[in-house]
Chain A
Amino acid sequence: MIVELGHYALIIAFATALVQSVLPVVGARRGDQSLMAIGDTSAIVSFLLVLLSFCALTYAYVVSDFSVQNVYENSHSLKPMIYKISGVWGNHEGSMLLWILILVFFSALVAFFGRNLPKSLRANVLAVQGWITTAFLLFVLQTSNPFARIVPTPMEGRDLNPILQDIGLAIHPPLLYLGYVGFSICFSFAVAALIEGRIDAAWARWVRPWTLTAWIFLTGGIAMGSYWAYYELGWGGWWFWDPVENASFMPWLAGTALLHSALVMEKREALKIWTILLAIITFSLSLLGTFLVRSGVLTSVHTFASDPSRGVFILAILVVFIGGAFGLFALRATSLKSGGLFQPISREGGLVLNNLFLTTATATVLIGTLYPLLLETVTGEKISVGPPFFNLTFGPLMIPLLLAVPFGPLLAWKRGDLLGAAQRLYVAAGLALLAGLIVVYFTTGAPVLAALALAIGFFVMFGAVTDLALRAGVGKVSAGIAMRRLAGLPRSAFGGAMAHFGLGVMVIGIVAVTAFETEAVAEMAPGETIDAGGYTLRFDSMDPNQGPNYVEDVGHFTVLRNGAEISRMDSAKRVYTARQMPTTEAGILTRGFSQLYVSLGDFVTPEGAEAPTAIVVRVWWKPQVTLIWIGSVIMAFGGLISLSDRRLRVGAPKPHRQRKAGGPVMEPAE
């Protein structure tokens, strides 16, 4: 009964989404207040209906109702409760429902918090959200109904793919989707602005919090996914340039560019057309990512069972929305007046440079991701584009960008002084080089290139600190005044510096683990030892163990340093009984920022022996690897601080802007 209720709620949500798609636009055209207001109501009603539907599916999972096909295929009565719930989005149908839930959640937020937006803009934004909602609800109802029943009811479910039974899965997709789908708001704002044919600095100020919100979640989601793959898959890699990773990385790159260009538009009314285009591109890349992941055209951990009709459906959505938005852009972009002039060497110039490199990098990732598909379609040849491609194309583009990061915030708007900025960065650059050299000195035989790359990471970090110090006037005024000035800085200044600082931290982690990682593989019998990264691992014993829905063999290890025991660690091989599927549970020991990573391979049974006498063990020493994720968290946190800035809150215009915003500029287009 509850399941049917969920299904009906979804169908009614489709109807309200249709209403939301049409009436507010008509209202905005005619200047009809009551029609425009329907946008708010229908957005909130759609959200409640989809939420109801999502709760109904969750309920079916919680009570293990195997008469629902989706539950039967992806759940098991013995599964721990947390994985029953996270299993709701651990499959195609459920994850699409989550996608839509987040989409309507953002629409409802606009309806709820967007009171200060001009009425016609809000109506148009909600209508565009309505179009996207309608398309995806139709997709779910037509091709991916999560509420389908099966007769007769099976006694037991087929269980969730074991590698998805992890706390990482409970967090990773919702975060990622909040980011991915959050960019739909930027898209809707852009399309609404194009429909109205007018756009100004106020528009950028309204869009920025939404962009920032989506960006924060996407940053967190990608970092979380990376760490999950790192510890769960047991290969010790943190980024594979897998097409599906790229699918989430491209919107992040474009979204980061959007965040910076919206800044220029907000402060200087320049780059309007470009910002609109970026907003469209960012969400288009999100849609493309959804298509790549959900259609099954790619081979990846994320592709669930595929059905050709789904791929075609999403492709159609993709073509309509991206094509439509670009078409509208081509028609209307020329009518948008561009604003403020600036010298190439200026804050604006720096941000343009940032955009140039970020979008070019996005393009190289896009080519690397789509080229194999394209080549196979055209010539039938099958190729794979792996890390070497991206290291050669994406890598070199990031170096000048990273070097430029500390300069940007030190340049003045309109006309900057490059020499002055460079002089103020002497200290940071000197310290960064010193830090790089120290690393080379202490890790004998370190490649000079790695030292330079590390120095770049330090430069970005120190540059962010320099920025804050200069703003506070450290060295020019007394320490007390500098402290007070520092505390008085706007939060967005802190947020920006912090995000840059986090970027530097992440770069250091990436370089360190790439350059200094060591690895050892050996066949080990109990009592034997293996060395990695200055530590010695002694294999003690192997014990069987029984979990709720799996059996495992746990290998116990003792970690020694210079002969003294410092810790113990376990690594296991599991077999999930429902699917008879084995997984590797890596053992991880964190020392400072570095990690020791142990994973188990096959048992070795000598000829004639009854039972295995040894096991293949693989050990990695991963120096400073956690900095990669710590850096991302710092970046996301910087975004959060910036978001809390009063100035950026939705509808908190500055006094002198208020008159303008209420004036003729933002009146509905007649």
Chain B
Amino acid sequence: MTRKQKRLAVIAGGMGVVAVAAALVLVALRDEIVFFHSPSDLLTNAVEPGTRIRLGGLVANDSLNRSSGTLVRFAIEDGGSEVEVEYNGILPDLFREGQGVITEGAFQPGSPVFVADTVLAKHDENYMPREVADSLREQGVWQGEGEAN
């Protein structure tokens, strides 16, 4: 091979890898990202059952209900609306009624209950997840800065 051909081969190989990576990224960005919704979003913009979303807001007061074993039910509200959430597992240490929370999961067909498989922990008692803070500000519930501290 001449020097030029060699260089072309190397460049072509490199482009090939980059192209594959780009394709993977595009597919992943289409299928594997999760949108954030607040309870009032869901009033106007219903989400298809089975679609994974993140649902965030405040844990409604007096909504926490431990039925049997490890199954927990609570409601997430943001001043505009309220959504019932079901979760099987251990709640994070800082999970409390009246506090900000983000859950991830999906609605089941024919049920208004959001089934979460992840409840995100806060790491600091003063800390409000940014997404939740923004959506609460839209609803006029909370006036604080991006993160309260």
Contact = CB atoms under 8 A, between A and B. Distances in A.
A604 B126 CA distance: 27
Contact of A618 (B90, B93, B94, B149): B90
B69 A299 contact: no
Nearest to A601: B90
Contact of A299 (B17, B90, B126, B129): B129
A570 interface: no
Interface of A: 161, 163, 233-235, 296, 299, 301, 303-306, 308, 341, 343-344, 349, 352, 356-357, 360-361, 363-364, 367-368, 371-372, 381-386, 388-389, 392-393, 396-397, 521-523, 573, 579-584, 599-602, 604, 616, 618
Given A357-B17, A386-B34, A393 B28 contact: yes
Interface string B9-30: 1100110011011001101110
Given A305-B149, A344-B6, A364-B21, A388 B91 contact: no
A581 B125 contact: yes
Contacts of A388: 28, 31-32
Contact of A360 (B18, B32, B35, B54): B18
Contacts of A600: 90
B146 interface: yes
B62 interface: no
A464 to B, nearest CB: 24
A313 B116 CA distance: 39
Contacts of B20: 396
Contacts of A308: 146
Given A299-B131, A364-B24, A384-B54, A306 B146 contact: yes
Given A161-B124, A306-B146, A604-B66, A382 B131 contact: yes
A102 to B, nearest CB: 24
B29 A389 contact: yes
Interface residues of B, number: 44
A392 B27 contact: yes
A667 to B, nearest CB: 31
Given A388-B32, A521-B88, A581-B94, A360 B69 contact: no
Among B27, B54, B88, B124, the most chain A Cβ lie within 10 Å of the Cβ of B124
4 tightest A-B CB contacts, nearest first: A601-B90, A305-B149, A382-B36, A388-B32
A670 B32 CA distance: 56
Contacts of A361: 21
A523 B3 CA distance: 70
A364 to B, nearest CB: 6
A305 B125 contact: no
Contact of B21 (A360, A573, A583, A599): A360
Nearest to B16: A356
11 contacts: A308-B146, A341-B3, A344-B9, A360-B17, A383-B34, A388-B28, A392-B24, A393-B24, A581-B125, A582-B94, A584-B93
Contacts of A371: 29, 33
B70 interface: yes
A357 B16 CA distance: 11
Contacts of B91: 601-602
B147 interface: yes
Contacts of A522: 69-70
Interface of B: 3, 6, 9-10, 13-14, 17-18, 20-21, 24-25, 27-29, 31-36, 54, 66, 69-70, 88-91, 93-94, 104, 121, 123-126, 129-131, 134, 146-147, 149
Contacts of A385: 29, 32-34
A604 B65 CA distance: 11
B41 to A, nearest CB: 10
Contacts of A599: 90
A384 B21 contact: no
A392 B32 contact: yes
Contacts of B28: 368, 388-389, 392-393
Nearest to A161: B124
Given A306-B146, A383-B33, 20 more contacts: A233-B121, A301-B123, A303-B147, A344-B13, A356-B13, A357-B17, A367-B25, A371-B29, A371-B33, A372-B33, A382-B35, A384-B34, A392-B27, A396-B20, A521-B70, A521-B89, A581-B93, A581-B94, A582-B93, A583-B93
A396 B19 CA distance: 13
A356 B17 contact: yes
Contacts of B10: 344, 349, 352
A393 B21 contact: yes
A364 B94 CA distance: 33
Given A389-B32, A392-B32, A363 B147 contact: no
Could you say which of A352, A363, A393 has the most chain B C-beta atoms within 10 Å of its C-beta? A393
A343 B6 contact: yes
A344 B91 CA distance: 54
B93 A234 contact: yes
A303 B14 CA distance: 37
B147 A616 contact: no
A384 B147 contact: no
A579 to B, nearest CB: 6
Nearest to A372: B33
Given A301-B123, A601-B91, A523 B34 contact: no
Contacts of A584: 93
Contacts of A618: 89-90
B16 to A, nearest CB: 10
A386 B53 CA distance: 12
A305 B147 contact: yes
A378 B21 CA distance: 24
A396 B24 contact: yes
Contact of A161 (B3, B17, B123, B131): B123
